[in-house]
Amino acid sequence: MRLNAKVLLLHYGYPPQHTTGGIRLHKIKIHLSPYFSKVYTLSYGKKTVTYSQAIKNLWVARILIHLRYSFPTNLLLGKDHLLYLITTFLKANQLIKKKGITYLFTSYQPLSDLLIGLLLKKTHPHIFWITDFRDPYPEEIKATNIFPRLQRIVLRWIKNNCNLITVVSEGLKKHFESHNQKVFVLYNGLDNHPKKIKIPILDYRFNGLITYTGSIYPQLINPQPFLNHLRILFPYARFLYLGKDADSWIKWLPDKSQRSALYTPKSHAIAKKAQKKSDILLVFTWSNYSIKGVLTTKLFEYLKANKLVLVLIQGDEDLEWETIGKLFPNCIICYTHACSQHQLENKLRKISNSSIRFDFQKISKFLWPKNTAALMDTIKGSI
């Protein structure tokens, strides 16, 4: 059912800049378009500032980076800056009045996008405001927030004022429902059904490419024993890391035999090409009493690449990840407390040299079109 209404999608890093949030919002725009008479987008349109590891190691730089990710100092530094907040609010406010927009979609990070959404909601109370939180707050996970309590208060205020929150998993839904009962699971999702996958022979002769792309959270997970098991099981395999956290990767996987490489990709497209060229893709995540179901953005990128995916989880057994493992047999779920070399070898032996097919009916909820249709049903039911 099409709504005779207009929606504004607001995000600092909207494409052509290929950030995780920007790409997700672009997908949302594509799949929301059939349901609205018009979809508008508003973006700052500039590249996010990144720092080399050498600069990050300087004590002055570390202080500035912490200030950049902490509220309220982030309103003066980085992409949360006050000028962006004010100018974007004024543009969005004018667009809403001029075009008769009644729906607003914002995304976190940055925090300024949510503050703009809050100002617009207060200025136009009739607007139906949807805010996408995706994953747990990265600045708290990486401990780069100097004033976490203050930012939590601001975020709670924002969550209490929006009409609907979207997250990427059922586990995160339960986490966010403690502050806002209106939470919908909008998976990062698949564009279409995955193809049949042929798994290579996984024995000591395996000489393929094992790849990890994306952020690393050493505060929450230590995959070093797991990586050591892989090196022993596959002495001829090559390892590749693509991301911004090279120091952690070097610590976990010292390049003693010239079989490990690492790069900081200049674009998201480069990381996706590497995924398609790889034989095994790695996911590192966590699960504990306060938060479960951290289905990382990389998971669905990996599933689109049609490769074998090894998922390592630090912490408790996670039912949502276990369900993913059953629906997508190319995903092998391992836990840091129960993944010895022998256990990992047994898991790999069971899937070695096999062909994997998928039950399209059971995995259809992860497809963007079906998931977006369910989102629209929720929106209509909330009006």
Q: Do domains 3-189+367-382 and 197-359 have the same CATH topology?
A: yes
Structure tokens at 53: 């590891």
- Which top CATH class is 3-189+367-382? alpha beta
Mean pLDDT of the chain: 81
The fold for domain 197-359 equals Rossmann fold (3.40.50)
pLDDT tens by residue, 128-145: 999 988 765 544 444 456
Is the predicted pLDDT of residue 55 greater than 50, yes or no?
no
Q: Give the residue with greater pLDDT, 332 vs 79.
A: 332
CA distance 45 to 11: 9
CB-based contacts of 318, cutoff 8 Å, min separation 6: 171, 287, 292, 293
317 pLDDT tier (thresholds 50, 70, 90): confident
54 pLDDT tier (thresholds 50, 70, 90): very low
Residue ranges of the domains in the chain? 3-189+367-382, 197-359
User: What is the mean predicted confidence (pLDDT) over 39-66?
Assistant: 57
User: What is the mean predicted confidence (pLDDT) over 55-65?
Assistant: 50
Record the pTM.
0.82
- Of 174-178, 203-207, 218-222, 288-292, the one with minimum mean pLDDT is 288-292
Does the bond joining 110 to the residue before it have cis omega, within 30 degrees of 0? yes
Is the predicted pLDDT of residue 147 greater than 50, yes or no?
yes
In the prediction, which pLDDT does 242 show? 87
User: What is the mean predicted confidence (pLDDT) over 238-253?
Assistant: 83
Is the predicted pLDDT of residue 285 greater than 90, yes or no?
no
CA distance 231 to 210: 10
In the prediction, which pLDDT does 56 show? 46
Is the predicted pLDDT of residue 181 greater than 50, yes or no?
yes
119 pLDDT tier (thresholds 50, 70, 90): very high
